[in-house]
């Protein structure tokens, strides 16, 4: 017997619904997985053969959790519980001949698809630097997931790059068919086409799966929506669970309007709203309700807590981004004193680029952490590539860095050519750089020599931009900026300029060698070993589905969160607000919100307005602290107000390097010879660390 007494009244109402469409609006922490699994068990208890039940989730992890719960609730459950893709794969395998395929077809992964597209571009004489293979791959994925007809593609794909993508798409599908292969998007698209073109096959699956349950319905895209609608069109026994307030994957093609329009699609729908939250305190839920009720496109509901009032939400407004994280660390230290463990605490931020400052401050404070869903900043491929360029500019003997970037971005220099260079270098006892004498390798060598000359007259921040532009790293990522991964990589590379700018401000030095020494220490420290008791750092998008006793939401500023990209997109700010709602409702006991009055992002310092989401929270819910724990020196005070004039031979004093002699002057930079242990340094001439003494 199913224990219905363990459910609240609304959960019982949802679980006991049997026939006809049912929409369950499941608020954060309201027990949606419990409702889904208990409903399956109840259907079986009421006489529905378990093999007639289809339950679809979005992740293998969620499917596994449901299966484990069902094993404890039922003796022999033959219900199909899996992801959209696993179900699509089953349909294709069972109907391969109808689709003109052999049952032993191959599934291509993302890497396989990219390689195939690269080959097709090459056959057309199109260079990857002109049309990115990943751009074409994403356009093909878009076509398949939106199920666009050729006529629709011709109507919407107007740019030259889109036309190339369409051309590749047509041949790409022929190649897949010829090689008896499918890609991941086909696992959803082909079953829909199969059902539309073969009514008898569709009826077979409609009779087989009389009861259908869909988890996270707000995250369905067009092809998933069509697949579900076809399967449920006969029996109408469709039970969907979701929350339009937690739809945060529009950039992946999810359409939250699928859940908002459910009652239009299915007449006589029973609607149950689960508003009892078993995760968070009343203060936290009231704040979440305050924010989300500003969205117009939603189903009205207010979450209510089963964990008492709790404490107020602490709001901290810091001077700058470093001060902000120091305030966070100050609060974390107090939490440790209260008995909280590191694993109880999570820090959420809107963009991956913000992680760098958080990581550095945590390292300096000796607080162990792990970054979820991302690499540590200095371990990211694009950052390692950039640092390798800088190391090679500083030291042309660095064969390791040369090997890393000689063909990054792609320059047509293969491994055989690189190995040949290494052989010549070993025989002649010289560096690989000096061994270069011809071909594409010589063009690369000239690029590095040009960058070395630029280094003599540029600040570090200017040099980084110079490297990104002249190496082609920046244009490669910008060319395919619609790819979310490339957008993040570009953000990280731009954020690196904040590191150089901070170094210049703090030391007054623009010496590349000094800078590389400085970051090598931080990069080495960030090679963490996995520990179980650590603070969790992650983006808000990665936080969905998780919960922590204590949550810090940092960077709550206009343009950062909500992100500036959302300002020009239809429903963009509403999506950001849903993301804020998700972040707030991850907290169980304590919630901290923070921002900064000024922030250095991508090497630029900007004044920051507090996020509109802060203003939307009722003041009585907030415990506001605007006084910094640590007061940093404002940027403008790091430089002398007057432009000091220098000539070769002038004597200067530096706060770190001591007494020195100016050897040359170049615009805003001076080169100074210090005592032997410090040698010759290039400095920003008006920095406060330098004083002209003679």
> Could you tell me the CA-to-CA distances from 656 to 561, 577, 689 in Å, in that order?
39, 47, 8
List all residues 6 or more positions away from 427 whose beta carbon is below 8 Å from its beta carbon.
Answer: none
With beta carbons less than 8 A apart as the criterion, state whether 280 and 29 touch: yes
Tokens (6 digits) for 327: 């305030």
Tokens (6 digits) for 287: 């704040």
Handedness of CA 558, 562, 568, 574 (dihedral sign): negative
* Number of Cα atoms under 13 Å in the Cβ half of residue 462: 14
Catalytic, 144? Answer no
With beta carbons less than 8 A apart as the criterion, state whether 539 and 349 touch: yes
Q: How far apart are CA 36 and CA 108, in angstroms?
A: 32
Residue 336 has a CB neighbour count (10 Å cut-off) of 13
Q: How far apart are CA 677 and CA 659, in angstroms?
A: 12
Q: Which of 42, 322, 489, 586 is catalytic?
A: 586
Q: How far apart are CA 551 and CA 566, in angstroms?
A: 24
> In the sheet where 622-625 sits, what is the strand order?
369-371, 535-539, 345-349, 548-553, 587-596, 313-318, 622-625
Contacts 24+ apart (CB under 8 A), 59-62: 59/83, 60/86, 62/33, 62/215, 62/216, 62/545
Q: How far apart are CA 520 and CA 585, in angstroms?
A: 38
Cα torsion through 342, 343, 347, 353, rounded to 10:
100
Q: How far apart are CA 288 and CA 16, in angstroms?
A: 30
Residue 521 has a CB neighbour count (10 Å cut-off) of 10
DSSP state of 609: P
Q: How far apart are CA 329 and CA 456, in angstroms?
A: 39
Q: Report the b/e string of 144-169 with b at 16+ CB within 10 A.
A: bbbbbeeeebeeebeeebeebbbebb
Catalytic, 268? Answer no
Q: How far apart are CA 173 and CA 171, in angstroms?
A: 5
Write the DSSP string, 513-573: HHHHHHHHHHHHHT-PPP-SS-EEEEEHHHHTT--EEEEEE---BTBBTTBGGGGGSTTHH
Length of the chain: 694
Catalytic, 78? Answer no
Q: Which of 11, 32, 69, 206 is catalytic?
A: 32
Strand partners of residue 528: none
Catalytic, 11? Answer no
Q: How far apart are CA 518 and CA 540, in angstroms?
A: 30
Sort strands 658-666 and 669-674 into parallel, antiparallel or unpaired. antiparallel
Q: Which of 246, 281, 361, 671 is catalytic?
A: 246
Catalytic, 33? Answer yes
Residue 413 has a CB neighbour count (10 Å cut-off) of 17
List all residues 6 or more positions away from 480 whose beta carbon is below 8 Å from its beta carbon.
Answer: 132, 134, 135, 138, 486
List all residues 6 or more positions away from 637 whose beta carbon is below 8 Å from its beta carbon.
Answer: 688
With beta carbons less than 8 A apart as the criterion, state whether 591 and 553 touch: yes
Catalytic, 216? Answer yes
Cis check for the bond before 298: say yes or no (omega within 30 of 0).
no
Write the DSSP string, 46-61: TT--GGGEEEEESSHH
Q: Which of 183, 185, 186, 215 is catalytic?
A: 215
Active site residues: 32-33, 215-216, 246, 586
């Amino acid at each position: 017997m199913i224990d219905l007494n363990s459910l609240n009244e609304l959960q019982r109402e949802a679980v006991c619904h049997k026939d006809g469409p049912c929409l369950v609006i499941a608020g954060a922490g309201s027990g949606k997985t419990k409702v889904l699994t208990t409903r399956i068990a109840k259907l079986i208890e009421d006489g529905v053969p378990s093999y007639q039940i289809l339950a679809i989730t979005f992740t293998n992890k969620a499917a596994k959790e449901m299966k484990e719960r069902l094993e404890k609730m039922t003796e022999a459950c033959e219900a199909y519980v899996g992801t959209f893709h696993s179900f699509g794969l089953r349909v294709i395998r069972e109907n391969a001949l109808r689709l003109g395929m052999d049952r032993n077809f191959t599934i291509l992964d993302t890497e396989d698809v990219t390689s195939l597209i690269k080959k097709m571009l090459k056959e057309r004489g199109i260079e990857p630097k002109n049309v990115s293979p990943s751009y074409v791959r994403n356009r093909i994925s878009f076509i398949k997931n939106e199920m666009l007809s050729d006529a629709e593609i011709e109507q919407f794909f107007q740019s030259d790059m889109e036309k190339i993508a369409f051309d590749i798409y047509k041949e790409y599908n022929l190649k897949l068919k010829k090689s008896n292969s499918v890609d991941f998007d086909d696992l959803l698209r082909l079953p829909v086409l199969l059902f539309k073109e073969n009514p008898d096959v569709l009826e077979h699956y409609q009779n087989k799966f009389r009861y259908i349950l869909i988890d996270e319905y707000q995250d369905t895209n067009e092809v998933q929506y069509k697949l579900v609608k076809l399967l449920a069109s006969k029996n109408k026994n469709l039970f969907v669970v979701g929350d339009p307030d937690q739809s945060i994957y529009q950039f992946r093609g999810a359409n939250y309007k699928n859940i908002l329009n459910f009652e239009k699609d299915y007449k006589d729908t029973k609607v149950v709203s689960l508003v009892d939250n078993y995760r968070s305190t009343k203060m936290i839920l009231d704040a979440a309700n305050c924010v989300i009720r500003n969205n117009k496109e939603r189903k009205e509901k207010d979450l209510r807590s089963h964990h008492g009032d709790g404490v107020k939400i602490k709001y901290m407004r810091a001077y700058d981004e470093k001060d902000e994280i120091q305030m966070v660390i100050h609060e974390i230290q107090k939490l440790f004193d209260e008995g909280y463990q590191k694993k109880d605490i999570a820090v959420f931020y809107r963009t991956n680029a913000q992680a760098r400052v958080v990581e550095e401050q945590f390292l300096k404070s000796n607080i162990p952490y792990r970054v979820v869903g991302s690499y540590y900043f200095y371990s990211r491929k694009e950052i390692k590539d950039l640092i390798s360029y800088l190391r090679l500019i500083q030291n042309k003997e660095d064969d390791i860095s040369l090997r890393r970037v000689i063909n990054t971005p792609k320059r047509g220099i293969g491994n055989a050519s690189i190995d040949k260079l290494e052989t010549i270098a070993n025989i002649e006892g010289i560096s690989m750089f000096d061994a270069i004498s011809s071909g594409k390798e010589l063009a690369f060598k000239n690029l590095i020599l040009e960058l070395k000359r630029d280094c003599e007259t540029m600040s570090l921040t200017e040099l980084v931009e110079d490297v990104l532009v002249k190496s082609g790293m920046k244009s490669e990522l910008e060319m395919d900026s619609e790819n979310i991964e490339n957008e993040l990589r570009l953000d990280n590379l731009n954020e690196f300029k904040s590191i150089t700018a901070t170094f210049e401000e703090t030391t007054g030095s623009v010496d590349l060698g000094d800078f590389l020494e400085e970051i090598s220490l931080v990069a080495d420290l960030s090679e963490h070993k996995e520990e179980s008791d650590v603070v969790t750092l992650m983006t808000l998008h990665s936080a969905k589905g998780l919960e922590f006793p204590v949550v810090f939401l940092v960077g709550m500023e206009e343009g950062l969160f909500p992100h500036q990209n959302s300002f020009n997109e239809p429903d963009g700010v509403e999506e950001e607000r849903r993301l804020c709602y998700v972040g707030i409702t991850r907290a169980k006991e304590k919630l901290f919100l923070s921002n900064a009055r000024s922030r250095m992002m991508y090497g630029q310092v900007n004044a920051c307005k507090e996020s509109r989401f802060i203003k939307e929270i009722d003041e009585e819910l907030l415990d506001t602290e605007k006084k910094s724990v640590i007061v940093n020196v404002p940027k403008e005070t790091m430089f002398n107000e007057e432009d000091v004039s220098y000539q070769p031979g002038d004597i200067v004093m530096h706060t770190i390097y001591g007494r020195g002699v100016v050897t040359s002057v170049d615009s805003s930079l001076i080169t100074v010879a210090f005592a032997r242990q410090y040698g010759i340094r290039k400095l920003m001439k008006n920095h406060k660390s330098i004083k002209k003494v003679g």
